[in-house]
A and B are shown apart, each in its own frame.
Chain A
Amino acid sequence: MSPAKIWISYYTMLRKEFVRMVRIWSQTLLPPVVTTGLYFIVFGSFIGSQLQAIHGFSYMQFIVPGLIMMSVITSSYMNTVSTFYFAKWQRNLDEVLVSPTPDWVVIAGYVSGGVMRGLLVGTLVLIVSLFFTHLIIYNIAVLLCAVVLTSVMFSLAGLVNGIFAKGFDGISIVPTFVLTPLTYLGGIFYSIDQFPPFWRAVSLFNPILYIVNAFRYGFLGFSDVSIATSFTLLIGITLVLAVTALVLFKRGTGFKN
């Protein structure tokens, strides 16, 4: 396919996903906004007002970056895992598979759909947070790189999950039993400096901790871990997932006989 045609095919996938996302906004965009809004009220306002400042920031200011990141992670992942699995289940995935669109473009299309949803939801959550606290931005470049890389990474992870999934339970097992616990224990609600040494060490094995901290650094200018480590991890995992997705597509795992 010529580059111009590849672009048209990619744009087709993106447009289709955008239209779908907006058409069913009450399922795609609203729920994370409501959930995080509740977190802001309960943890930020009610409980947070009784907590001491962390690194000189109010508890509300501390949790905003983590809660944005949580919604970006969940929305990106859920978008690709569900759209890909649904296309596979309903077999309309065949529409793109019989076309000359190369595998990497199909992957890019699905991942971009997840990124689109993740960033849109993240922005909405950020806007909601402004009702509770004012915006502080320490380093916009770090912030943007962290959020874009994160949504790419989790969109890819969702796609890989969708490729392997054999039933509707297969698309909810990982989010429920892996993603949610890692996210809640990923330093959104606390600084690991507050932890005893043992739990501090355990937390360092959680990749989401690094992601949340890199993002929080972009807002507040401090992090529990080194930013360089965070970005190395983000880029490393993203590359591994991208190669995995390409190999699975080439083999047709889960969708070709």
Chain B
Amino acid sequence: MTNAVSIKNLRKTYKTGVEALKGVDLEIAEGDFFALLGPNGAGKSTIISILTSLTTKSSGEVKIFGNSLDTDRDKTKTYIGVVPQEFNFNIFEKVIDIITVQAGYYGIPRAQAIKDAEPILKELGLWEKKDSPSQQLSGGMKRRLMIARALIHKPKLLILDEPTAGVDIEMRRGMWDFLRRMNAEGTTIILTTHYLEEAEELCRTVAIINKGEVKLHETMHKLLEANGKEKLENIYVDIIQDSNNKTI
């Protein structure tokens, strides 16, 4: 089986000279629920931005379901739905318009998109708000709007960059249930988060990156087992501190 994501020796140096990725290798299996962890500035968003073609890589190879970013970029785009770290919708547009326009960019006609949007918006608790301008939504609703927008073309791979940042506990649990169901229905999910209990709760595989390098890549089960069922948070802190000490 081809992996959902295959990253080989990925490097990215920004124009400012910052070396954000220093040779990242990652294989993410189809159907996985994958946690991409690391402190601020580790390079998580940079990886996601490269996967979604918003940032160009400096070197290395990236494949999405076997399709190379270099030769089959359009194909890779049809597979991915992305929820970025920062809000990036037009605040003057209505919820339903943001969703249907996004669908249109994937070649889905508006009438079809309105039909497809209904169950998604209902499930995410946004149906009542569908005719509101997006700026009138609460922070948690804005996040869920971005999730709805990412799902409208039924992607096989859903990438979420800190989707629960600033979301209250109850709503976060609702989001967890939703993502678990998506994953159970076959969607591969990649998630970044600073809430380690969230990763522990949801994800089957975990990668920890620091300063643009992968420090650990392991199944959650084995990782917790090998560390005597210690909490993920303690393991994480050890790995980050360890790698920081080595580079100092």
A residues near B (Cβ < 8 Å) are: 1-2, 4-6, 8-9, 11-13, 15-16, 19, 87, 90-92, 94-102, 252, 256-257
Least CB distance from A109 to B in Å reads 10
- Residue pairs across A and B with CB atoms within 8 Å: the count is 81
Least CB distance from A83 to B in Å reads 10
The residues in B between 59 and 110 inclusive whose CB is less than 8 angstroms from any CB of A are 74-75, 77-78, 80, 82, 84, 86, 88-91, 97-98, 100-102, 104-110
- Say which residue of A4, A90, A99 sits within 8 Å of B77 (CB atoms): A99
Contact indicator per residue, chain B 40-70, by CB within 8 Å of chain A (1) or not (0):
0000000001001111100000000000000
Knowing A92-B89, A102-B74 touch, does A6 contact B56 (C-beta < 8 A)?
no
Least CB distance from A37 to B in Å reads 29
The CA of A106 and the CA of B77, in the complex, are separated in Å by 15
Q: Which residues of B contact A1 (CB under 8 A)?
A: 74, 107
Contact across chains for A101 and B105 when beta carbons are under 8 A apart? yes
The CA of A66 and the CA of B218, in the complex, are separated in Å by 70
- Of the A-B pairs whose beta carbons lie under 8 Å apart in the complex, a sample of 16, sorted by A's number, is A4-B107, A9-B104, A9-B105, A12-B104, A12-B105, A16-B97, A94-B84, A95-B98, A95-B102, A96-B105, A97-B54, A100-B105, A101-B105, A101-B106, A256-B56, A257-B49
Is the interface on chain B under 10, 10 to 19, 20 to 34, or 35 or more residues? 20 to 34
Q: Which residues of A contact B104 (CB under 8 A)?
A: 8-9, 11-13, 15
Least CB distance from A6 to B in Å reads 7
Least CB distance from A22 to B in Å reads 14
Least CB distance from A162 to B in Å reads 15
Q: Which residues of B contact A4 (CB under 8 A)?
A: 107
Contact across chains for B74 and A98 when beta carbons are under 8 A apart? no
Nearest A residue (CB) for B80: A98
Pick from B54, B77, B78, B105 the residue with the most CB of A within 10 Å: B105
Q: Which residues of A contact B14 (CB under 8 A)?
A: 257
B residues near A (Cβ < 8 Å) are: 14-15, 49, 52-56, 74-75, 77-78, 80, 82, 84, 86, 88-91, 97-98, 100-102, 104-110, 149
Contact across chains for B97 and A2 when beta carbons are under 8 A apart? no
Pick from A15, A94, A99 the residue with the most CB of B within 10 Å: A99
Contact across chains for B107 and A8 when beta carbons are under 8 A apart? yes
Contact across chains for A91 and B15 when beta carbons are under 8 A apart? no
Q: Which residues of A contact B49 (CB under 8 A)?
A: 257
Q: Which residues of A contact B97 (CB under 8 A)?
A: 16, 19
Q: Which residues of B contact A102 (CB under 8 A)?
A: 74
The CA of A1 and the CA of B53, in the complex, are separated in Å by 16
Knowing A90-B91, A94-B84, A100-B77 touch, does A252 contact B56 (C-beta < 8 A)?
yes
Knowing A90-B90, A100-B74 touch, does A6 contact B107 (C-beta < 8 A)?
yes
Q: Which residues of A contact B52 (CB under 8 A)?
A: 98
Nearest A residue (CB) for B100: A12
Contact across chains for B91 and A98 when beta carbons are under 8 A apart? no
Least CB distance from B9 to A in Å reads 19
The CA of A252 and the CA of B104, in the complex, are separated in Å by 22
